[in-house]
Amino acid sequence: MMNRATSFFSHWQKDIPASVVVFLVALPLCLGIALASGAPLFSGLISGIVGGLVVGALSGSPLSVSGPAAGLAVVVLGAIQSLPTFEIFLLAVCLAGVLQLAFAGLGAGVLSNFIPTAVIKGMLSAIGIILILKQIPHAVGYDKDWLGDQTFRQQDGYNTFSELVHLASESLSLGAFLISLLSLVFLFWWDSGRINKGKWLSLVPGPLVVVLFSIATSLFYQRFFSDLAIEAEHFVQVPVAATAQEFFGQFTFPDFSAIGMPIVWTTALTLALIASVETLLNIEAVDKLDPHRRISPPNRELFAQGAGNMVAGLLGGIPVTSVIVRSSANVSSGGQTKLSAISHGLLLLACVALIPAFLNLIPLSALAAILIVIGYKLAAPQIFIRKYRKGWAHFIPYVVTILAILFTDLLTGVLIGLVVGAFFIVRSNFHSAISVFQDGNNYLLRVRKDLSFVHKWELKRQLSMIPENSFLLIDLSKVTFVDLDNAEIINDFLIVAIENNITVKIKQLPQSPYLFLDNLKPS
């Protein structure tokens, strides 16, 4: 027990500063996603706290951070509108957690192993580009859309790109723009490695400096430069409770009397499936970001998410998943262990309960600057160059995944990327499995891989090119399996070979009942 506790706190010098950055990123996202989901703002904060404390404690991932996810906002909004009351929706969230526990028990986490690396990397870069594009409006004081939006078509009637064009016709906040501009300059300078921070200064997260600077600057505007003063809608808006009783009154509890309603179970299954898929995608992505290349146990993650959604539903929160934005913020800030995710949950709880009014002094433009820097790290130009150098089979699925996510949503984009990635995998397997060598009138057909249905056309094509009155050696020495379709192709060719005076030998013929042995002379 002592060794485990020592290991847990062994990297606190990096985990605690990282948790502050994750907290600053998570706070507005929890509020924005709750707003977009049609749920009370406090329910988003509950889910952020549960994602840190419950999921963070149970998860086997050292770097993944959970909370309300933008990808579920539309689904949650539809569910809340279709169910009679919010309390019945909370019951569906609880049941979704139960279903996720069942998924973990059934070993459904193994599905994460079948996602190509190019698609995962494409997802990360797409999220980075989306962060940059979506935060530009907030950086210049245009906050008509919610801060955590990642969808192409937005609730304000614009899409990711048309909103940027629309900004030119809007009356923007010069004060907010100056804060975000100075914050960006500082953050890139802080992370450049050109300054000697020393032992203690290195523990100070750059985003925390930005937030404190932005609060001081906005107060300075109000006192001395009223023309630059930032309006109320451009600040974080945490619900403020005047008393402890009012604070605890913001918690809502599920209505278990509706457990027999079919629509509740349908909603629960939908939430469980989408939340589980997003979680598996995200922990796979976080493992790719981890500089230590640790592997997170997917079934344990599903279990942790299930427990988290049960608790979130019981307390009045919206569904939680592993979230790539918070997780990538954790990685880029130097997080090392689960202490970071858990500490960010504690910070959310403490600040929301004790100093909500202070949190409401934070300008959204400063948080937008922090998210833009995180986005840049996920989609830096050198990442594209590295992918290009790996070849078209890796680069094309990577780029297609990025474009598909940009113009649709996370799950749809990843699905399109998987289809393209599968095509290149099949294509590579298809071309490398069978090769033919010629020496005069002697031919060697060598099979390097087991023959499945994807090799039918190539096998037929190569065998059809063997001329009459020749000798053919079919080398199956590397093969342990020949499926029925390919076995029949070989059998048919053996009949044609007799008619065309082609002598055929097969090297190390596999023990397959589908091959006729009468015409063969194995060497």
Assign 504 to helix, strand or coil.
Answer: strand
Q: What is the mean pLDDT of the chain?
A: 90
C-alpha gyration radius of the chain: 29
- Give me the pLDDT at residue 512, please: 54
- The strand pairing partners of 472, in sequence order, are 443, 504
Assign 229 to helix, strand or coil.
Answer: coil
Assign 405 to helix, strand or coil.
Answer: helix
Tell which residue, 374, 298, 341, has the closest CA to residue 135: 374
Q: What are phi and psi of 84, to 5 degrees?
A: -60, -40
Amino acid at 49: I
Return the DSSP state at 230: P
Amino acid at 386: R
Cβ-based neighbour number of residue 357 at 10 Å? 9
Give the span between the Cα atoms of 15 and 5, in whole angstroms. 14
- Give me the pLDDT at residue 296, please: 94
Return the DSSP state at 233: G
Q: What angle do CA 114, 117, 119 make, to 5 degrees?
A: 90
Give the span between the Cα atoms of 241 and 245, in whole angstroms. 8
What are 450-481's pLDDT values in tens digits? 888 878 888 998 999 999 999 999 998 888 78
Give the span between the Cα atoms of 257 and 239, in whole angstroms. 29
Instruction: Report the Cα–Cα distance between both ends of the chain, in Å, rounded.
Output: 63
- Give me the pLDDT at residue 188, please: 93
CA dihedral 198, 202, 208, 209 (to 10 degrees): 20
Spatial contact of 451 and 484, defined as CB atoms under 8 Å apart:
no
What are 229-287's pLDDT values in tens digits? 999 999 999 999 988 999 999 999 999 999 999 999 999 999 999 999 999 999 999 99
Spatial contact of 240 and 357, defined as CB atoms under 8 Å apart:
yes
- The strand pairing partners of 503, in sequence order, are 471
Give the contacts of 90 (CB within 8 A, at least 6 positions apart).
252, 253, 254, 255, 313, 314, 316, 317
Give the span between the Cα atoms of 142 and 394, in whole angstroms. 38
Tell which residue, 185, 158, 180, 155, has the closest CA to residue 170: 158
pLDDT string in tens for the chain (523-residue length): 445 554 667 888 999 999 999 999 999 999 999 999 999 999 999 999 999 999 999 999 999 999 999 889 989 999 999 999 999 999 999 999 999 999 999 999 988 888 888 999 999 999 999 999 999 999 999 888 877 788 888 877 788 888 888 887 787 899 999 999 999 999 999 888 777 777 777 778 999 999 999 999 999 999 999 999 999 999 999 999 988 999 999 999 999 999 999 999 999 999 999 999 999 999 999 999 999 989 999 999 999 999 999 999 999 999 999 999 999 999 999 999 999 999 999 999 999 999 999 999 999 999 999 999 999 999 999 999 999 999 998 899 999 999 999 999 889 999 999 999 988 877 776 666 888 999 999 999 999 888 888 788 889 989 999 999 999 999 988 887 888 888 888 888 988 999 899 999 888 765 554 454 444 444 3
Return the DSSP state at 52: I
Q: What region, left, alpha or beta, does residue 475 occupy, with left being phi > 0 and alpha being psi -120 to 50 degrees? A: beta
- Which helix H or strand E contains 445, and what residues bound it? strand 442-447
CATH topology of domain 440-507: Transcription Regulator spoIIAA (3.30.750)
Give the contacts of 462 (CB within 8 A, at least 6 positions apart).
434, 436, 445
Tell which residue, 445, 437, 425, 460, has the closest CA to residue 505: 445
Q: What region, left, alpha or beta, does residue 198 occupy, with left being phi > 0 and alpha being psi -120 to 50 degrees? A: left
Q: Is the dihedral of CA 471, 472, 475, 481 positive or negative?
A: negative
Q: What are phi and psi of 335, to 5 degrees?
A: -60, 145
Spatial contact of 31 and 238, defined as CB atoms under 8 Å apart:
yes
> Both tokens of residue 352?
């929301």
Contacts 24+ apart (CB under 8 A), 435-440: 436/462, 436/465
Give the span between the Cα atoms of 27 and 237, in whole angstroms. 10
Q: What angle do CA 372, 374, 379 make, to 5 degrees?
A: 90
Amino acid at 436: V
Domain boundaries, the chain: 10-194+202-224+240-400, 440-507
Spatial contact of 436 and 443, defined as CB atoms under 8 Å apart:
yes
- Sheet of strand 442-447, all strands in order from the earlier edge strand to the far edge: 434-439, 442-447, 471-475, 503-507
Q: Alpha helix locations (H) across 202-296?
A: 206-224, 244-248, 262-289
Tell which residue, 29, 130, 198, has the closest CA to residue 413: 130
